[in-house]
Structure 1
């Protein structure tokens, strides 16, 4: 068995229908488009959710949900993750070195009872704490 001997499965392929090639072909004259109407014209394209003039399902159903464009910060509880609290200088890079966070995370918020005490260690604008 070589790659040059491979054939498609029986009945899986068929020749493309050639329309508009004369009366004897069976698909001549109107080229299998019927007589008149929008679908018989050149350049006709049915829109994705077109339902023949009936109001589309997407417009009949109520709109739900909301997508906020504000990027919410990734929250780290310093009571649970002690390694972040023990850092000498808190930046995004230093947090990434001790705690696994995704590359898409751009802002971090530190929460917990001892998070206020860490405010003096923070050296990055993208890292914030709770409280004042």
Structure 2
């Protein structure tokens, strides 16, 4: 079993520059940091998104709000749809042809002065009425 030499090839690497070791080194005095300014100071670390004092991009753009995971029910006024009163039982499937709402609707709330009288006809837990 041969041992491999894990050294880099001859002349392929350069010694690291030793910064701040006197004027003769070429990187003495200011240690290759220039004269003044934030970058020349010790402990400097630029904030993420910092643009030199200009308003950063993430603060220039408008906020994009959140979408609530709480599903709001579709309010249906019973007075506007008299055919709801004539239904034998009220479910989302039986309401769709009468009211004609989209497929994405999962909860319905019946409102209006006559909504309370329909509570005994409701057979779906996703349908509620206003009042007791």
TM-score, length-scaled by structure 1: 0.54
1:79 paired residue number: 79
Runs of 4+ in structure 1 off by over 3 angstroms are 50-55, 60-67
Q: Does 1:100 align with 2:100?
A: yes
2:109 paired residue number: 109
* Structure 1 residue 61, shift from structure 2 partner: 6.0
1:69 partner SS: coil
2:128 paired residue number: 128
Considering only aligned residues, what root-mean-square deviation do their CA atoms show, in Å?
A: 2.5
Q: Which runs of 5+ in 1 are unaligned?
A: 1-49
Query: How does 1:1-132 map onto structure 2 within 5 Å?
Result: 52=51, 54-60=54-60, 63=63, 67-132=67-132
CA distance in 1, matches of 2:61, 2:95: 45
* Structure 1 residue 52, shift from structure 2 partner: 5.0
Larger Rg: 2
How many pairs were matched up?
Answer: 83
Q: Which runs of 5+ in 2 are unaligned?
A: 1-48
1:30 paired residue number: none
Preserved CA contact (<8 Å) 2:110 2:129: yes
1:113 partner SS: coil
TM-score, length-scaled by structure 2: 0.54
